[in-house]
Amino acid sequence: MSAPPQLPELVIRALRMSLERGYVQASRSETGRLLATLAATRTGTIAECGTGCGVGAAWLRTGAPKQTRVITAELDPELAHGVMDMFAHDDIDVMHADWTSLAEHAPFSLLFLDAGSAKGAPREDIIELVEEGGMIVLDDFTPCPSWPPLDQGRVDRVRQEWLSDERFVSVDVMVAEDTSVIIAVRR
């Protein structure tokens, strides 16, 4: 088997910031590669809820066409300003704000829900943020072969509801042995 492709420079920078700050919530590379691949199909504006140290935004920027805007919102002021400085010349717009403030820049062609409150938000609110054919991505699910999906012995309601909502065409993609990602495309 050949070696996995090298990490993009932007991603390395963001991972370095995560390491320096002891930040352990950064997106994993398997998820990042999926984000970059999806972003490569997107025009318009891509948004991320919960910037962290910028790893997800770095993958999105790396994959997206040059003309596609990438915007990300982070509630924690130190993280938001740290990432703003880090990406000052990289065409990634970082907001220090609650993710709900992203609405002023909607509709999005891809929306990555990576803050707990965004993942649990009513789908009625989320659907308004994406254009028709737009994608919503949610990560960090535990792979499960059964239906309804279980997590630690209980029905995983968030996943069940996203996968059953008729307004979306959706799929649960196992990106690694221990993690899966939902991609939901607005019909």
Ligand X SMILES: C[S@@+](CC[C@H](N)C(=O)[O-])C[C@H]1O[C@@H](n2cnc3c(N)ncnc32)[C@H](O)[C@@H]1O
Chosen residue from 10, 36, 114, 162 binding ligand X by CB under 6 A: 114
> Least distance (Å) from ligand X to the CB of residue 160?
21
Binding of ligand X by 30 (CB under 6 A): no
C-alpha to C-alpha distance for 159 and 149, rounded to whole angstroms? 7
Chosen residue from 38, 86, 115, 182 binding ligand X by CB under 6 A: 115
> Least distance (Å) from ligand X to the CB of residue 53?
6
* DSSP per-residue letters across 39-82: HTT--SEEEEE--TTSHHHHHHHHHS-TTSEEEEEES-HHHHHH
Chosen residue from 7, 27, 129, 149 binding ligand X by CB under 6 A: 27
Q: Which listed range, 52-60, 85-93, 123-131, 167-175, lies at the site for ligand X (CB under 6 A)?
A: 52-60
Torsion of CA 1, 172, 114, 20, to 10 degrees: -20
Other beta carbons within 10 Å of 131: 16
> Least distance (Å) from ligand X to the CB of residue 114?
4
What contacts 71, CB < 8 A, 6 or more positions away?
45, 46, 47, 48, 92, 93, 94, 95, 102, 105
The answer to whether the CB of 54 falls within 8 A of the CB of 16 is no
Binding of ligand X by 75 (CB under 6 A): yes
C-alpha to C-alpha distance for 124 and 49, rounded to whole angstroms? 16
Binding of ligand X by 43 (CB under 6 A): no
Nearer to ligand X, 8 or 148 (CB): 8
Binding of ligand X by 117 (CB under 6 A): yes
Binding of ligand X by 99 (CB under 6 A): yes
> Least distance (Å) from ligand X to the CB of residue 58?
8
Q: Which residues bind ligand X (CB under 6 A)?
A: 25-27, 48-52, 55-56, 73-76, 79, 98-99, 114-115, 117
